[in-house]
Homo-oligomer: A and B are copies of this chain.
Amino acid sequence: MSHNGFGHLLRFTSWGESHGPAIGVVVDGCPPRLPLAEDDIQAWLDKRRPGQSRFTTQRQEPDKVKILSGVFEGLSTGTPISLLIENVDQRSKDYGEIKDKYRPGHAQWTYQQKYGIQDYRGGGRSSARETACRVAAGAIARKVLGPDVTIRGALIQIGARAIERARWSWVETAKNPFWCPDAETAGLWEQDLDRLRKAGSSTGAVIEIQVSGMPVGLGAPIYGKLDADLAGALMGINAVKGVEIGAGFAAAAMTGEHNADEMRMRDGRPVFLSNNAGGILGGISTGQDLVIRFAVKPTSSILTPVRSIDAAGNEVEVATKGRHDPCVGIRAVPVGEAMVAFVLADHLLRHRAQNGA
């Protein structure tokens, strides 16, 4: 157990604050002899990097990753892999003003209650900046999973507007700044967000992660279930308020015969005729695609003034100046993918330990 570590056999420990000299992550337990270079990790970090469109924060961070250990002559050695990302664009602005004013909906208040101290600059440890560490760790997890496992995420709702699933195209997700699989909805989101941005507001989003090429048998019942670990992993991402798998909340309204994914044989192999389970039964992967969704709340850092208090107990109004995301859900897509990748890779090793293959 530790507060800033994640995973069991494959395990990462993340550290760093938004405005410190650097952030980083140590990945422990990686199998030896996997090809691994900085570029393998950088590719995923570049997807999460802010400032790539007008719909994410304008903070300019190259997010250049350095491998400090655990890799030798292009291969993992089985020893801990230390990754470091320098903070470059910490603006030296005066934080004095907001330092003691609690933004409603922001972690600043609870950190202060819990610890009695915090690095408040840029959100400190609670900043979404930390999610770069998750993405870096996730890149290594993908190597552990191997090329047959494909983990892809898409934004399926921004504000009240959801995509039309019939128009789903994975190709499309790379063509718009939203990871949106539905070109038509992407265009509408652009208008929605421009309006919100100008209004000094923000909104939430729903992300869906799908995994194909899933090994059968991952997940360790009863208290290491794959769905439980995925839910914990995704709910732990900044601003996430809900997680569902397969039919999710909609399953509550179904009957047993509609919800059950019937099975037939095709070409001598068992197939499922539907996927309400989202690829998991009894906490163990079925081999079907994993389907997981999570909801991200609107960021609390907005220009619109809201009522709050300060550290001295005065009633104040708070409006956040500076660079922020109108929809933090956008950048949550690669982060969600990374967390799913890490959970799966850890479970792959756990499964192999107990079952030998």
Contact = CB atoms under 8 A, between A and B. Distances in A.
A227 to B, nearest CB: 5
A117 B354 CA distance: 14
B241 A232 contact: no
A61 interface: no
Interface string A323-357: 00000010000000000000000000111111110
> 6 tightest A-B contacts by CB?
A107-B282, A232-B232, A228-B236, A242-B244, A231-B235, A353-B353
Given A32-B116, A110-B282, A110-B283, 7 more contacts: A2-B5, A5-B223, A15-B26, A32-B354, A113-B217, A113-B287, A252-B329
Given A105-B256, A201-B256, A256-B302, A110 B243 contact: no
A115 B78 contact: yes
Interface string A150-191: 000000011110000000000000000000000000000000
A132 interface: no
A43 interface: no
A324 to B, nearest CB: 9
Nearest to A158: B252
Given A115-B33, A157-B252, A352-B353, A1 B224 contact: yes
A3 B244 CA distance: 22
B235 A17 contact: no
A127 to B, nearest CB: 10
Interface in A75-101: 75, 77-82
Interface residues of A, number: 156
Nearest to A81: B15
A218 B4 CA distance: 15
Given A252-B296, A306-B260, A115 B77 contact: yes
Interface string A181-215: 00000000000000010000111111000000000
A256 B268 CA distance: 53
B356 A308 contact: no
A215 to B, nearest CB: 10
Interface in A93-135: 102-111, 113-119, 124-126, 130
Contact of A28 (B4, B241, B265, B287): B4
18 contacts: A2-B5, A2-B11, A2-B28, A2-B29, A5-B13, A9-B350, A15-B80, A20-B68, A21-B66, A22-B68, A24-B68, A24-B82, A114-B216, A126-B282, A206-B252, A251-B295, A256-B299, A264-B315
A256 B203 contact: yes
A246 interface: yes
A188 to B, nearest CB: 14
A277 interface: yes
Contacts of A104: 260-263, 272
A167 to B, nearest CB: 19
A264 B31 CA distance: 30
A313 to B, nearest CB: 6
A13 B225 contact: no
A285 interface: yes
Contacts of A286: 109-110, 113
B13 A79 contact: no
Contacts of A257: 201, 302, 304, 306
B235 A245 contact: yes
